[in-house]
Every structure is written in structure tokens, then in C-alpha cells.
Amino acid sequence: MNREHKDEALAQVDPEIFRLIEAENRREDESLRLIASENYASRAVQEATGSCLTNKYSEGYAKKRYYEGQQVIDEVEELAISRLKQLFGQTAAGSVDDIHVNVQPYSGSPANLAVYLAFCNAGDTIMGLGLPAGGHLTHGHNVSITGKYFKSVPYGVRQDNHLIDMDEVRKLAKEHRPKLLWAGTTAYPRILDFKAFREIADEVGAIFAADIAHIAGLVAAGVHPSPIGIADVVTSTSHKSFRGPRGAMIFCKKEHASKIDRAVFPGLQGGPHNHTTAAIAVAAQEALQPSFKEYARAIVDNAKALAEAMTARGFSLVTGGTDNHLLLVDLTNKTIPGKVASKALDRANIVLNYNSVPFDPRKPFDPSGIRIGTPSVTSRKMGKDVMVQLAEWIDRVVSAPEDESVISKVAAEVRAVCAKYPAPGLRV
């Protein structure tokens, strides 16, 4: 029997999608990608994501599946878990043996929903950083299911320095007695004090959950304090600063393992995406290498260098600077809205997002600020010299957002610099 089979290439099967992927490939190669939640996945991560593991359906957990033929899949999932334990156990508070890991959530938001399902009933009180102050939708914002099904009590930041007001967190927690207390952010440039959150949670009998989606790579490398072993449960995406696929992972104390596992499956989803699980394992293996610690430190160094260069050019930074991978810039003193600035910068091959700032008088879809992240440019091995140049480019574009000659010139200069720093994972 002839078992030869030749798959047709994407360009032959679907030239339209092939063309669009090639166009995105060029965009990612020729632009400075400064979205704080984006990065470049390695070719190895991408190969795992595009592997035959996408063919396999695997409801249940390793050695406890509902379908047969799981011998290889079980090994893949167990390998991902063991590597994550080894990696994050290096900076965790306590023994790695006390950590349980679930790698099946499809993404960060479902991972957070699993926490709610594990510990809360509809109508329970929850607390998280408010979205306008830099929190996440799934921490109780009113447009999210988490703000509709639960009584959400948001905490905020101080008016004077825009740092999380831990006194307010404690006061609100004592007043409202939340079932679940979140620590996690999407637009907050400072270190989170997980021990302080733990103390407050203990005072009011709350489950303490930490969402480290943005800073997982920094936590793994020890350049940001780890909540693992401190929080009852820790959620994270597997991309962003971690440089893995678009998936998620949950760490929790062993005593909560059964609740978390049941909440993920069968509570919220069916079979896991095995190709993503394999790619998480690959990303964890990459993060276990000494070079990853250097990379994570460079992310922070670049953010600080960019903050200094932006400040020198008269930009106003929320909290006055950064301790992590991102900057939040208030453009009010530049008399330009964040959306106008981000659209102009995009045309100049500088890709970032407009963002609300604390106590923003403007609406969320037309806010006062922009958010800048350094994980992607650091993956290209760009350093302080490029950060200084980046501040100059941003200043030129923001000062003349409708001058297409300025924007075109900056775009060409950006492409020239990008050509010197090859992007990992791309086929150019």
C-alpha cells in the first residue's frame, strides 16, 4: 500500500491567508512593537504550536483522560508542568513541592474565570484594581462578566503619586469583606507588594489571587518579586514577557488543586489545546536557560532607559517612571490625545496603544495616554541607544501628528534600525 502523502503548502491552499500572514510578518519585522502585552515567540515555540498535536482531543488530565490514545499527550502535559515548577520554583516563596500547576486554560481571561468558579458564588464580593487605575477587565470591571456576576469593589491609586493605595485596599477590604482579592495589573509600572496583599486577605478571610500575566517572565527570572507560595492562586498568560504561545497557566497551593482543576475542566472547557501545551513546555525550557535572566533584566533596563529619555523630552510619566516592562505616558501636557498620538505613531512604524491614565478626564476610547512596553524590542536585542532614539522619534511624531513628511521620515528611520536587529521567530 502506498502511504505517501504530500500536503499542499498554505500558499497553494489559501493564497489569500498566505498573503495576509506574509504581510503581518513584514509588519512585525519592520516596526518597533511596543505593545506591552506582545512579544516574539521563537521559531521552536511556533513549530510546537503548529504541530500535529492540534489533531488530538484530550478531555481530562494526565492519566485520567476520557479518550484513549493519550500516551504522548500525557507526557507533553506532564513535561510542561514539571518545567514550570522548576522554573517558577526558583523564585517562589516555599517549596516547589507545595505548588500545583494547571496548563490547560485557553487564555488568561478563562484562567481568571476558573478562579472565580473555584472559590466564589454569583453575587459574592470581589476586589481588584479598577480598570481606570491600571487593572484588568476580569478583575471585576462592570463591562466584564466578572463585574456582572459578582459584587465588585474596585480599589485605586493615590491622587498624588498614582501608586496603589494599600491603605485604601485595607479599608475597603475590612468594610466589604471580599471573598476574593486580586493583585494584578495591565497598565501599572511599579512593583506589586504581594506580601502586603496577603496580609490584607488574611485579615478579612479572603482568597488571595495574583494575576502575573504581564510580568510572568520578570517573575520567572527573579527581577520582580514572585507571588507563588504567597498567594492562594496565581494566574498568568504564557506569552507577553514569557515569550510563549497564546495560552495560560495557573499555579496554586496544593490544598486548592482539586478546586482549580475541576473549575478548568469540566467547569469551563472541554479538551485542552495540546499544541499550546507543548509550546508552553518549549517556552519554559527556553526560560530555564541563563540567557533568559539576562533578557528579563534587559527588559527592565530598557524600560528605565526609555523612561529617562522620555522624561528628558518633557513627557509626563505616570508614577514618574517604571520598575517593570512598561511605561504609562500622560500626554495632557503635550496637548494631544492618546488615540491621535498612537495612530500617528503606528504610521511611523512605532506600534503601541492608547491608554487611559489614572483620573483621566477623557473617555476610555479616546483617552489621555499611551502605554509603551519593552519586551518585544528587547527580544530583538535592542538596547539603551535604541531607547534614546525611540524617545526622539516619539517626540517628533507627537509634535507633528498630521505632518506626513515627518511621519514618513521616521518610518524609514525605524525600518533601517529594525533591519539591524533581526526579530526572533520570523521568516524574513
Question: Each residue of 364-411: pLDDT tens digit?
Answer: 999 999 999 999 999 999 999 999 999 999 999 999 999 999 999 999
- Give dist(CA 158, CA 85) in Å, integer: 36
Residue 354 · residue 369 · CB < 8 Å: yes
CATH 3.40.640.10 residue ranges of the chain are 52-287
Pick the catalytic residue: 38, 47, 57, 74?
A: 57
Task: Walk along the chain (428 residues) and give the pLDDT tens digit of each residue.
Answer: 455 556 679 999 999 999 999 999 999 999 999 999 999 999 999 999 999 999 999 999 999 999 999 999 999 999 999 999 999 999 998 888 899 999 999 999 999 999 999 999 999 999 999 999 999 999 999 999 999 999 999 999 999 999 999 999 999 999 999 999 999 999 999 999 999 999 999 999 999 999 999 999 999 999 999 999 999 999 999 999 999 999 999 999 999 999 999 999 999 999 999 999 999 999 999 999 999 999 999 999 999 999 999 999 999 999 999 999 999 999 999 999 999 999 999 999 999 999 999 999 999 999 999 999 999 999 999 999 999 999 999 999 999 999 999 999 999 999 999 999 999 999 87
> What is the four-CA torsion angle of 265, 267, 268, 270, rounded to 10 degrees?
40
Q: Is 68 a catalytic residue?
A: no
Q: What is the CA radius of gyration of the chain?
A: 22
User: pLDDT tens digits for 295-328?
Assistant: 999 999 999 999 999 999 999 999 999 999 999 9
3-state SS string for the chain? CCCCCCCCCHHHHCHHHHHHHHHHHHHHHHCEECCCCCCCCCHHHHHHHCCHHHHCCCCEECCEECCCCCHHHHHHHHHHHHHHHHHHHCCCCCCHHHEEEECCCCCHHHHHHHHHHHHCCCCCEEEEECHHHCCCHHHCCCCCHHHHCCEEEEECECCCCCCECHHHHHHHHHHHCCCEEEEECCCCCCCCCHHHHHHHHHHHCCEEEEECCCCHHHHHHCCCCCCECCECEEEEECCHHHCCCCCEEEEEEHHHHHHHHHHHHHHHCCCCCHHHHHHHHHHHHHHCCHHHHHHHHHHHHHHHHHHHHHHHCCCEEHHHCCCCCEEEEECHHHCCCHHHHHHHHHHCCEECEEECCCCCCCCCCCCCEEEEECHHHHHCCCCHHHHHHHHHHHHHHHHCCCCHHHHHHHHHHHHHHHHHCCCCCCCC
The cell numbers describing 411, all together, are: 518610518
For the annotated binding site for (6S)-5,6,7,8-tetrahydrofolate, the residues are 131, 135-137
**pLDDT number for residue 8:** 74
Pick the catalytic residue: 85, 179, 240, 304?
A: 240
- Give dist(CA 213, CA 333) in Å, integer: 31
CATH 3.90.1150.10 residue ranges of the chain are 298-420
Residue 108 · residue 159 · CB < 8 Å: no
Nearest to 154 by CA among 136, 129, 183: 129
Pick the catalytic residue: 246, 347, 384, 396?
A: 246
Query: What's the whole-model pTM score?
Result: 0.96
Could you tell me which residues come within 8 angstroms of residue 255 by beta carbon, excluding any fewer than 6 positions away? none
The fold adopted by the segment(s) 298-420 is: Aspartate Aminotransferase, domain 1 (3.90.1150)
Q: Is 146 a catalytic residue?
A: no
Q: Is 237 a catalytic residue?
A: yes
Pick the catalytic residue: 30, 38, 59, 193?
A: 59
Dihedral sign (CA 53, 59, 62, 64): negative
For the annotated binding site, the residues are 131, 135-137
User: pLDDT tens digits for 58-67?
Assistant: 999 999 999 9
Q: Is 421 a catalytic residue?
A: no
**pLDDT number for residue 4:** 55
Pick the catalytic residue: 146, 186, 237, 276?
A: 237
Pick the catalytic residue: 28, 29, 77, 211?
A: 211
The fold adopted by the segment(s) 52-287 is: Aspartate Aminotransferase; domain 2 (3.40.640)
Residues in the chain, how many? 428
CA 152 remoteness from chain centre: 23
Return the percentage of the chain with pLDDT > 90, whole number.
Answer: 96
Residue-wise over 329-338: b if at least 16 C-beta within 10 A, else e?
A: bbbbebebbb
357-360: list long-range contacts, CB under 8 Å, 24+ apart.
Answer: 357/318, 357/328, 357/330, 358/132, 358/133, 358/134, 358/156, 358/157, 358/159, 358/162, 358/318, 359/132, 359/159, 360/132
Query: First vs last Cα of the chain: how many Å apart?
Result: 40
User: pLDDT tens digits for 144-166?
Assistant: 999 999 999 999 999 999 999 99
**pLDDT number for residue 1:** 44
